[in-house]
Structure 1
Amino acid sequence: MIYLTYSDPLTGVFQSQVIDVCNYLNKALDIKVCLVSFISIKGFWKSRKRIKALTKNALVLPMFPTIILWKLNAITLFFTVLLTGERVIIARGVFACNMALILKPLLIRKVSYDGRAAVSAEYTEYDVSPYKSLLPVIKLAEKKAVIKSDFRLSVSTELIKYWENQFNYNSRQHVIIPSTVNSSWSQDLLHSQEKMEMRKLLGLPEEKVIIVYSGSTAGWQSLDLMSDFVSKILEKQPNILFLVLSPSSPQITDFNKRFSNNFVEKWVLHNEVEKYLKVCDYGILLRDETTTNKVASPVKFAEYLSAGLSVIISKNIGDASSFVNENNCGFVVNEKLENDLKPLSEEQRIKNSNLAKKFFTKEAYFSQYKICTDSLMNKE
């Protein structure tokens, strides 16, 4: 079986939602899964080396320059399929899926679409690509991926509803698997004294309540919304520290100027994020109400809970907002937070972490992965 990606950079998300998934399928289901990853020719050899260091059996291939030429990569995929002898593909994203579907009459027996987003909505709402002429192509490619695939993985029930509304999807050949934490993350929490000692080691104040944002500065992250929201909290509660684990951006720079005594910015490697999260109290996940965010399953939600944090979240973010309400593991907010934030109790930390173990690990979705792979391998 091939797990196929196209134009996905090696980020923390790639490590936890691609490489970790392939490793899990290999071990838990005893299936030989080969990662085939088409990546940009810019910095190709460096990126290839990094991916191979994480999963040595991966086939990392250069993609044709610019996304407009995505179909040409089906030629490379054709010879890759011949070389590996594999005839089943799980394809992450619409372009990878359509590349696989092009080969289906010839070499590929079955294709599963690993749907991560409302792709055409994302391109429309956030100008993801500079090539405006690509939008009609993307809409058609997304519809084909949803309708023509033999099976589908979806990150949320809201994404399934999006498929139903946009493409008249009416099959039941799918499973829902949200974004999950990397298997390398430790499930052990820090006790109160250990947490204070680690804060000191990381250069963070021991006495403050810490809100953390961990993630990218992409448009759908709604940094303006988050900055305005946190500003109101800091003006009201001077005992709060806002920690940002992210690359710099205009919003972050401006925030630092206004709240320098209550703000720390760090950009750390993916394998260092966990230790920072575990010394915080609250993870923040605020986003604008767009279709992109309505169907999303942010990895940071799983990571926050796994680290024991309660989550401050906007309404209507995939299935995560309702999860917070139903499980009392944070606050679903609108424009402001009604109550003052207090240090998180050890009892609440343990509860949050246990929720992550139950609902946001690969192991929690063994049955769903097995349904998918059995369907593709004709073991129904």
Structure 2
Amino acid sequence: MDKRPNKKALFILHEGIGSTIFNSQVIEHARGMKKFGLDFDILAYDTFAKTWDLSNKNLSKFKNTDPDIKIMLKKAMNIYYPFSSIYNLCLLVAFFIKNKDHYSFIQGRADYTTFLCLLTKPFHGLPVYWDCRGDAVSELEDSLSRKKVLIRFIGNIYLLGFNRIVAYFNCKMSDGAIFVSRALSAIFLKKLKTKCYEIIPCPVSEEKFFFDRELRRTMREKLNIAVHKSVYLYSGSMVAYQSLQQQYEQYEAILKNPDNMVVIATSQPDVAHEFFKSLKSDQLIITSVSFSEMNAYYNLSDFAFLMRDKKQLNYVASPTKFGEYCLTGLPVIMNETVDQAYTVSKELNNYVSYLNITSEKFNDQKRADISVKARDFYSRKVLNLSYVRLYEANLN
């Protein structure tokens, strides 16, 4: 892309400012786009009172680490409350009345935000890109399946219908679309009115995630893990779709070998301690790891887990963790429930079936080779070109 004056863009989301996804998928995106003359401001609405303090804490952190990126944090109403969309729509209208001349285009993260951005188009008149992160209807159906009868009843009548309308509206009105996987795009492409779209997996910064022999050695020394021991890593939350019960059974079998260890790196260590309390504590490490420390834990490990339930929401997903695993050269123990991860792992040759978990480690050279090959699939530097191509289609 030729050097040109910066164009201002606005990235909007209704997820607050979290500690991991916001870092890897929002801030990293804004950083990367600056190199192409695209200057993103970020407008984050927090719709949950319980996460407001965390959002403010993270806002302060990102203002220190990225002072050149304008981040705005505002309160909004819980999107599941009756009439909340009208209230949140008014908040956006008020913002655009004051700021409509500042930007060249808008990127709405996920279905709900894009829907509101499209409804407010009479007030801003800007191209709106639908950043489709998953099958929201399938995700809601899964969430409702675990709720009480009354909530399921209301959800099935109102929320599912609303989400289907949102997806249809986004298909017909978006100026461009981003889908994180081919399986996800297949759901919407027949309805998508615009021809301006890209399939872009969740990108991973190769500057932050890579294989390093020396880092592996020093981290093992730091945690007193002997060279001959095999470390099996799980990184992620303690939510239901992560197949935790199945993982419990696998960890139990793995820990029967005294030379094996399991590391669980999660933002919910208290939940993990309770769930896995009966496992051998001397071979189990449960810890909360910051985004900046995660690469070190990947490097000290020998295997990583990516287990998901057999559901539509998982089949169409593009787990950021999988890309991070690959860029650090890890063999990944998985089932075949995430289409993109399964396909890529076969090409990279780092697939390990959960039905036949091997104890054979990859040597350093093989991990380094996988790390390099994985950049073609998940490197932010590579995938940024697809974003720029999409944006420029409506800016030229």
Given the two structures, how large is their TM-score scaled by the length of structure 2?
Answer: 0.85
1:71 match: 86
Partner residue, 2:141: 124
Alignment partner, residue 318 of structure 2: 297
One-letter amino acid of the structure 1 residue matched with residue 21 of structure 2? V
| Structure-to-structure mapping, 1:115-154, within 5 angstroms | 115-127=132-144, 132=155, 133-154=158-179
Secondary structure of residue in 2 paired with 1:181: coil
Which residue does the alignment assign to 2:20?
12
**1:22 maps to which residue?**
30
Contact 2:234 / 2:263 at 8 angstroms: preserved in 1? yes
Alignment partners' CA distance in 2, 1:36 and 1:200: 42
Q: Distance in 2 between matches of 1:254 and 1:218?
A: 11
Letter in 2 for 1:189: D
Whether 2:338 is the aligned partner of 1:311: answer no
- In structure 2, the CA distance between the partners of 1:143 and 1:8, relative to structure 1 (3 Å rule), is farther
The question of whether the paired residues in 1 share the 8 Å contact of 2:316 and 2:338 is answered with yes
In the alignment, what sits opposite 1:185? 208
Give the C-alpha shift of residue 250 in structure 1.
Answer: 5.6
Residue aligning to 1:37: 44
Q: Equivalences for 1:215-230 in 2 at 5 Å?
A: 215-230=236-251
> CA offsets, 1:46-98, max 9 Å, x none?
34423433444112222135543133222222232343322521100111101
Aligned residue among 259, 265, 268 for 1:245: 265
Offset at residue 217 of structure 1 (A): 1.2
**Which whole-Å CA distance do the structure 2 matches of 1:54 and 1:80 have between them?**
26
SS for the counterpart of 1:125 is helix
Deviates more, 1:102-111 or 1:254-263: 254-263
Q: For structure 1, which runs of at least 5 residues remain unmatched after alignment?
A: none
1:45–1:331 distance in 2 versus 1, CA, 3 Å: closer
- Residue 241 of structure 1 aligns with an amino acid whose one-letter code is M
**What SS class does the counterpart of residue 268 from structure 1 fall into?**
coil
Pairwise CA RMSD of aligned residues?
Answer: 2.4
Q: CA deviation at 1:108?
A: 2.6
CA distance in 2, matches of 1:144, 1:170: 10
Distance in structure 1 (CA, Å) of the matches to 2:98 and 2:335: 47
SS, match of residue 17 in structure 1? helix
Tell me, in whole angstroms, the C-alpha distance in 2 between the residues paired with 1:359 and 1:22. 20
Give the length in aligned residue pairs: 369
User: Is residue 231–residue 301 contact of structure 2 (8 Å, CA) maintained in 1?
Assistant: yes
SS in 1 for 2:276: helix
Between the aligned partners of 1:81 and 1:106, the Cα distance in structure 2 is 6
Q: Secondary structure at the match of 1:367?
A: helix
C-alpha separation between the residues in 2 aligned to 1:47 and 1:350?
33
- Give the C-alpha shift of residue 348 in structure 1: 1.5
Partner of residue 58, structure 1: 71
Letter matched to residue 31 of structure 2:
N
Corresponding residue for residue 80 of structure 1? 95
Q: 1:136 to 1:53 in 2, by over 3 A?
A: farther
Instruction: Give the letter aligned to residue 108 of structure 1.
Output: G
Partner secondary structure for residue 289 of structure 1 = coil
Where 2:339 maps in the other structure, the secondary structure is: coil
Residue 32 of structure 1 aligns to a residue whose secondary structure is: strand
User: What's the CA shift string for 1:150-178, capped at 9, x where partnerless?
Assistant: 110011001011224xx744754210111
Q: Which piece of structure 1 moves more, 38-47 or 89-98?
A: 38-47
**Residues 6-45 of structure 1: CA deviation (Å, up to 9, x unaligned):** 1244121111111111111122x20122111112453264
Of the structure 1 ranges 200-209 and 262-271, higher mean CA displacement relative to structure 2 is found in 200-209
1:251 to partner: Cα distance = 6.2
Following superposition, the deviation at residue 148 of structure 1 comes to 1.9
**Match of residue 106, structure 2, among 83, 86, 89:** 89
Moved more, 55-64 or 253-262: 253-262
CA distance in 1, matches of 2:283, 2:133: 35
Q: What is the alpha-carbon distance in structure 2 between the residues aligned to residue 230 and residue 168 of structure 1?
A: 43
SS at match of 1:37: strand
**One-letter amino acid of the counterpart of residue 360, structure 2:** K
SS at 1:287 equivalent: coil
Q: How much has 1:265 moved relative to structure 2?
A: 0.9
Deviates further, 271-280 or 8-17: 8-17
* Structure 2 stretches lacking a partner, 5+ long: 1-8
Matched, 1:374 2:392: yes
The answer to whether the aligner puts 1:284 opposite 2:305 as a matched pair is: yes
The Cα of 1:179 is off from its aligned counterpart by: 1.1
Matches within 5 A, 1:285-364: 285-333=306-354, 336-337=355-356, 340-364=358-382
Report what 1:105 is aligned to: 122
Contact 1:2–1:33 at 8 Å: present in 2 too?
Answer: yes
- Name the SS for the 2:128 alignment partner: strand
Q: Is the 8 A contact 2:342 2:351 kept in 1?
A: no
In the superposition, the TM-score normalised over structure 1's length comes to 0.89
Identity %: 20
How far 1:318 moved relative to its partner?
3.3
Contact map agreement 1:87 1:108 (CA 8 A) in 2: no
Q: Return closer, same or farther for 1:328/1:47 CA change in 2, 3 Å cut-off.
A: closer
